[in-house]
Amino acid sequence: MCGICGTVGISDKTLLEKMCHAIRHRGPDDSGYFIDSGIGLGHRRLSIIDLKSGRQPMQNEDGSIWIVFNGEIYNFMSLKDVLEKQGHRFRTASDTEVIVHAYEEFGEDCPRHLIGMFAFAIWDSRQKTLFMARDRLGKKPLYYTIRGGKLLFASEIKSILQYGDVKREVDVTALRQYLTFGYVPAPRTMFSGISKLPAGCTLTYVHGKSKIQKYWDLNMEAAPAQPQPEEHYVEQVRQLFTEAVRCRLMSEVPLGAFLSGGLDSSSVVAVMSGLKDEPVKTITASFEEGGSYDETQYARLVAEHFGTEHYEVVLGSKDIGLLPEVIWHFDEPVLDASAFPEYLIAEKAKKYVTVVLVGEGSDELFLGYAQHRLLPMMHSYQKVFPGFIKNGLVPAAAGALAGIIPSRKARRYLDFISNMGKALGDQREMYRTLIARFTEPEKQRLVTASPEGGEDPLMPFFAGDDLLDNMQSFEIKVNLPENYLMNVDKMTMAHAIEARAPFLDHRLVECAAAMPAGIKLRGSDEKYVLKKMMTGILPGEILRRKKHPFTVPIVDWFEKDLKELTEHLLSKERVEEQGYFNYDYVRKVLSKNNPNYNQPLALVYFELWHRIFIESDDVYKPTLKNLI
């Protein structure tokens, strides 16, 4: 694991050193550079495999091919055997060198042969070609910009911004997308002219021209095979998941797991414990507020059950001061409150481990979110009673309940019911209504900056008839890589921790996609096949728990400690000076009467990001004090 960067059309070691320095947190163990006519490659190393000889940039035997690589290839030993039989000779025991020879053997098809998480760039001096690739599920980020015959790329945007000719401007279409999703879907970023390479894609750059190709996709609408007995699917998942965990235990440095006490992370810890001789190191977060925010009792239960070496980190409102650091590491505003505990857990974990396994991906694979139950049910009722549900029952229910449950939380539900009623019958708009931080009418009142158009990231995913397939496809291909996995990568790499997600082994993902929906979601019982697999292994209390989303008391923190700061950050003078938002509507968003707590946070996150990345003379780690 590490950080990578590079340039084409520029040969400037000073620039390359600055680009590497900006991402030094990703790889504190070593740095390396390759510079030739019109090409520069930079690398910051976090040593995990082949500690002695795995330095980068790395070359082939004759120096015609050079690579910088971020990630881990779990099948590199078996792939190395295949390549050696084809006559390739290796000088190191690293997975990096295997990619070099895989490129020599398979050309631009080489990513198809890799199992793991990766973002890499290869310079082929014979073809004068830069070839970049990002792993299938987007576990590792890769950004780039092309302007004036020059290309710059890096693991993080702050590295690209070291080049003075890169303008720091807001992409207004990306801003509108952020206000809907809480993040910016690929290929856009919040920076105009800087792009993300989408998950499962390669980019080839030769003679000033670029070509992006998709080398892997997940077909959610593939015709299912003949239905099998339940036990068949349970055993299939068991074998693939166990293998996914096993290969992710490969490490020459200490390894552990993040444990929340939920089904997903507990399953990871359970399988790790069965495969390792020594106790698993586990780390979890708790909150000073306690109550519904505190799940440590379940994490402790799992830790005791498997005899782990368990550590806890306690968070409180004092930690809100870290918000600028969190945004700085993200490079973009990402409206994910779980970033705070992830950031602090990683900081704590660094004292004990360098690699952690995490439970991300299970909800997407095995239909674990509330919308997987709610939306198909509503859609079915609407098809049976097309006019009554949309025009009669929903408005009547919203109106009747409005006077009965006036609390802020209740008003949020009522707004949702009303908006959902308007969207019924349109799969895409139903889903948008469910996930949107700001609805389309709200964005029209809030955003003053042009343009209003731009592509709709949901459009390609809602062309089919199966609502579950459509939702699952979007969540795996867009929401997962650019939201949840971005969180995992940026918050762990902030402390030079490598996070590995066994649920997102692409072989397990493909298996889950091909399963009948009924084996994943049985009535109201989400992740049914996973629960069946873990029966008799996990404590019954964990298996019987209703899904509990990981919640953070960030709203309480803001209202308790940062209300005055929020008023300052989004003052009338400030909002009107920037020109992105209508101040009258900003006041409505900040009002106590606003039932949607995500909306004030979205504006505060954007404002802090703007001060850090657009207005600041440099992009080095800020503090709250120096931003106000």
CATH number of 2-214: 3.60.20.10
Q: How many CB atoms lie within 10 A of CB 176?
A: 22
Q: Specify the pLDDT at position 113.
A: 98
**What are the angstrom distances between the C-alpha of 505 and each of 23, 136, 360, 386, 587?**
27, 9, 11, 41, 45
Please give the structure tokens belonging to residue 615: 């207005």
| Ranges of the chain with pLDDT below 50 | 388, 398, 400-406
Taken in order 50, 3, 627, 338, the sign of the CA dihedral is negative
Gap between the Cα atoms of 397 and 381, Å rounded: 15
Checking DSSP bridges between strand 39-45 and strand 2-8, what pairing results, if any?
A: antiparallel
Check if the beta carbon of residue 478 is closer than 8 Å to that of residue 198.
no
Measured CA distances, 144 to 161, 348, 357 (Å): 11, 32, 28
**What was the pLDDT predicted at 384?**
54
What pLDDT does 515 receive? 93
Measure Cα distances from 274 to 241, 269, 535, 537 in Å.
Answer: 13, 9, 15, 10
* 156 close to 584: Cβ distance less than 8 angstroms: no
Instruction: State the sign of the Cα–Cα–Cα–Cα dihedral 366, 134, 189, 570.
Output: positive
Give residue limits of the domains in the chain: 2-214
pLDDT score, position 222: 59
Q: Please give the pLDDT value at position 221.
A: 65
Residue spans of alpha helices (H) in 54-139: 76-85, 95-106
How many Cβ atoms sit within 10 Å of the Cβ of residue 579? 9
DSSP 506: H
Q: Which residue has the tokens 């409150």?
A: 337
Q: CA-CA distance, 191 to 549, in Å (whole number)?
A: 31
For residue 288, what pLDDT is reported?
Answer: 82
For 77-221, where are the E strands, in sequence order? 116-124, 129-134, 143-147, 150-154, 195-196, 201-206, 209-214
Q: How far apart are CA 353 and CA 281, in angstroms?
A: 8
Q: 410-416 contacts: CB < 8 A, separation 24 or more?
A: 410/595, 411/593, 411/595, 412/595, 412/596, 412/597, 414/595, 415/595, 415/596
- Contact between 301 and 450 under an 8 Å Cβ cutoff? The reply is no
Residue 393: the pLDDT is 52
At 432 the three-state DSSP class reads helix
CA distance 442 to 429: 14
Contact 30, 58 (CB under 8 A): no
Neighbours of 406 (CB within 10 A): 10
**CB burial readout 450-479, b (16+ within 10 A) else e:** eeeeeeebbeebbeeeebbbbbbbbbbbbb
Pairwise CA distance, residues 375 & 380, whole Å: 8
Task: Assign 134 to helix, strand or coil.
Answer: strand
d(CA 101, CA 4): 19
Residue 540 structure tokens: 């019954």
Residue 343 CA, chain-centre distance (Å), reads 14
* pLDDT in the model for residue 404: 47
Q: Using CA atoms, how far apart are residues 154 and 6, in angstroms rounded to an integer?
A: 6
* Residue 398 C-beta-side C-alpha neighbours within 13 Å: 18
Q: How confident is the model at residue 566, as a pLDDT?
A: 86
List helix spans (H) across 579-619: 583-590, 598-609
Total Cβ atoms within 10 A of residue 165: 10
How far is residue 302's CA from residue 257's CA, in Å, rounded to a whole number? Answer: 12
The residue type of 170 is: V
With a CB cutoff of 8 Å and minimum separation 6, the contacts of 473 are 218, 220, 461
Q: What gap in Å lies between CA 296 and CA 261, rounded to an integer? A: 7
Residues 6 or more apart from 586 whose CB is under 8 A from it?
446, 570, 575, 603
Structure tokens at 229: 């007995």
Q: Are 347 and 353 in contact (CB under 8 A)?
A: no
**Closest C-alpha among 296, 291, 304, 309 to residue 341:** 296
Catalytic residue among 2, 5, 20, 201: 2
How many of the other CB atoms lie within 10 Å of CB of 383? Answer: 11
Cβ-in-10-Å burial (0-12, 13-18, 19+) of 400 comes to exposed
Is 20 a catalytic site residue?
Answer: no
pLDDT cut 90: percent of the chain above it:
69
Token representation of residue 102: 């895989």
